[in-house]
Amino acid sequence: ARLIKKCCTPQPVKEGRRIVGYVKPNLFSPQYQNDFEELKSYCIDDVAAMREDVKLLPRKELIPVEHEIWKLTAKMNLEGLPVVAEEVSSILARIEQALEDGKKELAKMTNKVITSPFQYARIKDFCEKEGFPIQNVQAAYIQDLINDPEVRLPEIVEKVLTLCQMLGKSSTAKYRKMVDYMVPGKAEDYRVNDSLCYHGAGTGRWAGRGIQPQNFPRAQSKQPEED
């Protein structure tokens, strides 16, 4: 994990304690030479270990019950999930408008210091200048700060973080994914295909692809029997 972080991700450039940018690691420079060789050696061992694992697998074919599940997966992927294209487009248009309005509000609240919920470095700097440094801008951490009654957030910081949370919700990205993946079927019946991957996790369960249907919000009801 240390080698991947050092050799495969952009490295921060700092002025004092402040990050002012990122630079791509030059794996052929002297400062990376030992780490690069170590990572390369690890990768070679990793491939060798996988090849030995494959040799020890008991069979080349799926057992009958797994073969049936594989066929079921193929059938579901070909059938696809129905999508009402008109409604998706309408929802997406509303989301885009809300995002634009939210960005304008964010710029107004911060005197144009922050103009997008994805300007993470600016958000951190703004909070620090307002007297409340934050550790990071991850959604769960920010939500905990907002919800914790013992944390006294400055009013402007709370408003900015709350608005950024609302504008940055990943759930809205599902609609863009639907537009990217949906294809027309019969009589304008749009479908999203290939959203399940057979045995995608170590336990054997399906993994999501494309619009990730397993991550959809689950319907909630206070009176399930009546509904």
- pLDDT score at 186: 60
**Alpha-carbon separation of residue 15 from 18, 19, 22, 59, 165 (angstroms):** 5, 6, 12, 57, 28
Q: What is the pLDDT of residues 161-203, one digit of tens each?
A: 999 888 887 667 788 888 888 887 665 678 999 999 999 988 8
Q: What is the pLDDT of residues 83-116, one digit of tens each?
A: 888 898 899 899 889 889 999 999 999 999 999 8
Query: What is the pTM assigned to this prediction?
Result: 0.55
Q: Give the residue-averaged pLDDT of 68-83.
A: 94
**Alpha-carbon separation of residue 12 from 25, 124, 137, 154 (angstroms):** 10, 15, 16, 29
Q: Which amino acid is at 110?
A: T
**Under 8 Å between Cβ of 213 and 195:** yes
| Helix (H) / strand (E) containing 140 | helix 139-147
Q: Measuring CA to CA, which residue among 160, 103, 106 is closest to residue 131?
A: 160
pLDDT band with cut points at 50, 70 and 90 for residue 79? very high
- pLDDT score at 170: 66
d(CA 135, CA 142): 9
| Helix (H) / strand (E) containing 12 | strand 11-15
- For tokens 């998706």, what's the residue? 88
